[in-house]
Every structure is written in structure tokens, then in C-alpha cells.
Amino acid sequence: MRVKALITGGAGFIGSHLADLLLERGHQVLLLDDLSTGSHRNIEHLVGRPDVEFVLGSILNADLLDDCVARSDTVFHLAAAVGVQLIVEKPLESLATNLRGSELVFEKAHKYGTRILITSTSEIYGKNTSDRLSEEDDRILGSPLKSRWSYSEAKAIDEILAYTYWRQKGLRSVIVRLFNTVGPRQTGHYGMVIPRFVNQALRGEAITVYGDGTQQRCFCHVGDVVRALIDLVEHEEAYGRVFNLGGTEEVSIMELAERVIARTGSSSGVRVIPYDEAYEAGFEDMQRRVPDTTRAHELVGFAPTHSLDDIIDAVVADQRS
């Protein structure tokens, strides 16, 4: 079977939604995942289909990766250590996946001339709190010895790899910076705020707001994101370029906690926890992160279709089921 799309991290939250949409569009998928943060539950509805192949293994296994890329004509490189909490707790493992793993994936994509999209992160911009972060904006980072910034550095190297393979070797590669993507199947285990708040609200536990809760984010539904990933990798003019993808509705984390309590009808209260206690001593958060998505809008018509309330409701429904 000639597989069309290889998704590294295919059993992850975003990878599994991407697989669903690719299949809906008639493509075949090969899902490579070591189930370190991904879950078999995310893809159990797909396994057994003739157009789906699941390979259990790591992108760090060069021979396995070689075989997977050889049988694909598009690579979506999503396998990565993600989630601020995970990065802080397992910095070495995270670096291995995000640096060595990505280097191998690009090497193989180049060997077979396979077009590739890599998901990067809004962490790239660090503490830049500009009104709308656009792709050419400066990065403002703390010390690389702080785990959070080491993640940003590793992802920046991934972007440089993607770009340099395009410039120097003509490898068709696209870079996407994801801003707070949310939806069904996302787990709160690695720190992501909306699944955590929903879980706490449904259990009637206190909602854990870190810092003072004035920090702001824009959340985007995973369905909007995966559509854009496919549209971008298929667009000739996307190669060698970077695109922000994210929502536009800005909300403070305290307001988010109140919104989750209201929409679940929960009796939970809010517990404010200092950053040092929530993460590690000296932890630095981003106060504000708002994407400018004009570039993706102009090239492939990217426009989020879900409001924040829709997103919260989708996560609530998922966790209730």
C-alpha cells in the first residue's frame, strides 16, 4: 500500500484529528507514534481500516522512520514533547525528541524528496507581548537555562532546519506556529489549561489558576487548525515559509476559569497558585499572546469558525462522554 500521509505523533491530540480529516478527504494515513504522550484511545476508531496504518515506535528509531517516510508522499511532523509542564518536568527527553528527532525526520524527508510540514509553536515569540504577533516579529526570551526557553530554542532550531532544507536543498517544507490549540481528546496531563479546568469543574474541584490570572491567551479549535495544515502543505506558495495559526478571541485565565464554571454549572471555586509552586522556582510565563494570522488567511483562507464558548462546550462534551 502506498501511504499518502505520514503523521509523526499520529496518535496525539492534533495528529488524530488531522488523520480524521485526511481520511475524510480520501487520503491514506500512516500514523507513527511511541504513545509517550499520544494515546491509543485517540485512534481506536481508525485502527483496522484499510486506509490506516498504525506503527508503534519513535521518530528516534532511524530505520523505522526511514521505512515510514519511504512509503509516504507527505509528512506531517507533529511528534514532539509538548506542554509547558512536561517540558519543565522532563527537559532532557524533550530536547532529544525536539532536536534529534526532528533532525532525523528532515534527513529522511530530504532523502526521499517528500514534502513536509512541521508544527512549531507560539513559544517561539517568548515574552513578546505585541498587540498581534506576526511571523516576522522578534523573539524575546529569558535564559536558555530555564526549561521553558530551552523548548522555544529547540523549536527555533527545527524551524531553521525546515527553512534551510528548503533554501539549500529545495525540500518542500512548511512551518506552522500553533497558538493554544484546544478540542476533544486533549488531555490536561501535560499542563494544558482548558482540559484541566474542565476536568476540575466536572469533578467539583477547585479550578487552579496560576499566577494572578491576568495573563491572556487566544484559543483555537483543533478542527480549524487541521484544515489549515492540509491546505498549507498542498499549497505551492507555502514552501519555505512560516505561518501562525490561532484564535483571535482574547481571554484572561481568570475569566476563562469563570467561563468554564458557568458553562459546566459547576460548584467549583477558584484557587490561585503562585507560578513557583505550579511549575518551578523562577518560572516565567507569557503575559499575553495574540496571533496575527493574516498570512494564513491570505494564502489558504484560514479563519477560525469556533468561538471560545464552542470550544469549552466541545471539551466538556468530550470529557463527559
CA distances from 101 to 39, 86, 96, 105, 110 (A): 19, 17, 6, 6, 14
Q: Does 84 bind ligand UDP (CB under 6 A)?
A: yes
Q: Is 125 a catalytic residue?
A: no
The least CB distance from residue 273 to ligand UDP, in Å, is 7
Part in contact with ligand UDP (CB under 6 A); list of ranges 40-48, 188-196, 260-268, 301-309 = 188-196
Q: How far apart are CA 30 and CA 113, in angstroms?
A: 17
Part in contact with ligand UDP (CB under 6 A); list of ranges 89-97, 156-164, 204-212, 301-309 = 204-212
Long-range contacts, 263-269 (Cβ 8 Å, 24+): 263/309, 263/312, 263/313, 263/316, 264/198, 264/201, 264/202, 264/316, 266/201, 266/202, 266/204, 267/204, 268/200, 268/201, 268/204, 268/205, 268/206, 268/207, 269/206, 269/207
Give yes or no for a contact between 79 and 32, defined as CB atoms under 8 angstroms apart: yes
The least CB distance from residue 315 to ligand UDP, in Å, is 12
Q: Does 177 bind ligand UDP (CB under 6 A)?
A: no
Contacts of residue 123, defined as CB under 8 A and 6 or more positions apart, other chains included, come to: 148, 151, 152, 155
Residue placing its CB nearer to ligand UDP in the complex, 146 or 196: 196
Catalytic residue of the set 112, 125, 151, 275 = 151
Q: Does 54 bind ligand UDP (CB under 6 A)?
A: no
Residue placing its CB nearer to ligand UDP in the complex, 91 or 240: 91
Residue type, 175: I
Q: How far apart are CA 250 and CA 291, in angstroms?
A: 10
Q: Does 191 bind ligand UDP (CB under 6 A)?
A: yes
Work out which of 192, 232, 296, 315 binds ligand UDP, going by CB under 6 A. 192
Q: Does 217 bind ligand UDP (CB under 6 A)?
A: yes
Query: Which residues sit opposite 272 in a β-bridge?
Result: 209
The least CB distance from residue 67 to ligand UDP, in Å, is 33
Three-class SS of 205-247: CCEEEECCCCCEEECEEHHHHHHHHHHHHCCHHHCCCEEEECC
Among residues 189, 151, 180, 176, the alpha carbon closest in space to that of 39 is found at: 189
Q: Does 215 bind ligand UDP (CB under 6 A)?
A: yes
Q: How many residues bind ligand UDP (CB under 6 A)?
A: 14
What is the phi/psi pair of residue 262, to 5°?
Answer: -65, -45
Part in contact with ligand UDP (CB under 6 A); list of ranges 21-29, 207-215, 232-240, 311-319 = 207-215
Q: Does 208 bind ligand UDP (CB under 6 A)?
A: yes
Say whether 200 sits in a helix, a strand or coil: helix
Part in contact with ligand UDP (CB under 6 A); list of ranges 20-28, 211-219, 259-267, 295-303 = 211-219
Cα dihedral sign, 284-290-292-296: positive
Q: Does 285 bind ligand UDP (CB under 6 A)?
A: yes
Residue 54 is inside which H or E element, if any?
Answer: strand 52-56
Residue placing its CB nearer to ligand UDP in the complex, 98 or 114: 98
The least CB distance from residue 158 to ligand UDP, in Å, is 17
Work out which of 120, 180, 199, 244 binds ligand UDP, going by CB under 6 A. 180
Residue placing its CB nearer to ligand UDP in the complex, 81 or 253: 253
Q: Does 266 bind ligand UDP (CB under 6 A)?
A: no
Q: Does 253 bind ligand UDP (CB under 6 A)?
A: yes
Catalytic residues: 151
Binding residues for ligand UDP, per CB under 6 A?
Answer: 84, 180, 191-193, 196, 208-211, 215, 217, 253, 285
